[in-house]
Structure 1
Amino acid sequence: MTADTDDADTADRTYALHVRYEGDDDPAKCTARKLAKFDLADLHRSDRETPYGVVLNPHAERALSPADADTANVVALDCSWESAGEAMFSLPGDHRALPYLVAANPVNFGRPMQLTTVEAVAAALCIFGEDDHAERILSKFTWGHTFLELNEEPLRRYAACADSTEVVEIQQEYLDRGE
């Protein structure tokens, strides 16, 4: 493959979005249900039903980076933050933690690392260089554009990293600043 072919493959990549859905949040506020309603993500009621992919897991040992972009599936777990313990993340796949980002959703606005399912998936898409796809899924939420605005700089910087180590180094800058 030539460099031109690699660029074309990346530019044409589409990610299937999958959510392991627990159903323990208020259905009216559930971002995963809204994504499914608009055919932007598939909900799965069991681990076995959920396809293999990059699993967004806040307990993972490695940070998500552009090096993980060769997957076909981005998988999130939709559950209450109260029940989001490490045991809940038994999904098959390559588990990755999102780096430092700030929530824009009305429930957790301004809180670091308290993202909704749609914010987490959109962040992964941005880190993979799929900003248009992220904008498309966030457009279904009145506050969706605010997530991208609040996190514009860190998402751009994370997307420019080569691997998880570089993402963690950049994340540490934000943590050190107390942002």
Structure 2
Amino acid sequence: MDLHVRYEGDDDPDKCTARKLARFDLATLHRSDRATPYGVVLNPHAERALSPADAETARENALVALDCSWESAGEKQFTIPGEHRALPYLVAGNPVNFGRPMRLTTVEAFAAALAILGEYDHAERVMAKFTWGETFLDLNEEPLRRYAACEDSNEVVAVQQEYLDRE
């Protein structure tokens, strides 16, 4: 599954997980919406949750993330063409937002999506480039497994609700 990033370049380059993925040829960075390929776009503002039902579209096209500062990650930023999907409830494993729900880095978003789409080995490969990568996968092992077992977006949302009810 090809990983593509609509790259804004507005955060700390030393902490930018998208840039590191590109350095290892694990993702391709794009500086404009027009240059970014059509695919499944990871968008926290999307109306539908990512589910295994999206796997074929992602495999045939691309898995796309927007890499920008959390301060500028408003809904208007997500103008990338494609099938927009929100990731379900997960917690960050990165050092900056450790343990905070839904404050994932670009690489965490990719790894979560890959796991949900049935590409767990690919998720492990991208996370292996980060010292804290295994921590993210360990923290979210149960929910990722449960989301990956769902049929569609509605089932993912139902499983997510169980985690939200615990909060």
Q: TM-score, normalised by structure 2?
A: 0.98
Matched residue, 2:72: 83
Matched residue, 1:147: 136
Deviations 1:137-174 (A, max 9, x none): 00000000000000000000000000000000000000
Q: CA RMSD in A?
A: 0.4
Matched residue, 1:108: 97
How many Å separate the matches in 1 of 2:166 and 2:24?
38
Comparing 65-74 with 167-176, greater Cα deviation is found at 65-74
How many Å separate the matches in 2 of 1:131 and 1:65?
14
Matched residue, 1:175: 164
**The one of 40, 46, 50 aligned to 2:32:** 46
Q: Does 1:31 find its partner at 2:17?
A: yes
Q: Does 1:95 find its partner at 2:81?
A: no
CA drift at 1:91:
0.2
Matched residue, 2:149: 160
Letter in 1 for 2:133: G
- Name the SS for the 2:118 alignment partner: coil
Matched residue, 2:111: 122
CA drift at 1:37:
0.1
Letter in 1 for 2:14: A
How many Å separate the matches in 2 of 1:176 and 1:136?
32
CA drift at 1:39:
0.1
How many Å separate the matches in 2 of 1:144 and 1:20?
22
Deviations 1:51-101 (A, max 9, x none): 000000000000000000002310000000000000000000000000000
How many Å separate the matches in 2 of 1:130 and 1:147?
16
Matched residue, 1:3: none
Q: Which has the larger radius of gyration?
A: 1
**The one of 22, 34, 55 aligned to 1:69:** 55
Aligned residues: 164
Matched residue, 1:7: none
How many Å separate the matches in 1 of 2:111 and 2:88?
13
Structure 1: which 5+ residue stretches go unaligned? 1-14
Letter in 1 for 2:19: R
Structure 2: which 5+ residue stretches go unaligned? none
How many Å separate the matches in 1 of 2:79 and 2:110?
18
Q: TM-score, normalised by structure 1?
A: 0.91
Aligned-pair identity in percent equals 81
Letter in 2 for 1:87: K
- Name the SS for the 1:109 alignment partner: coil
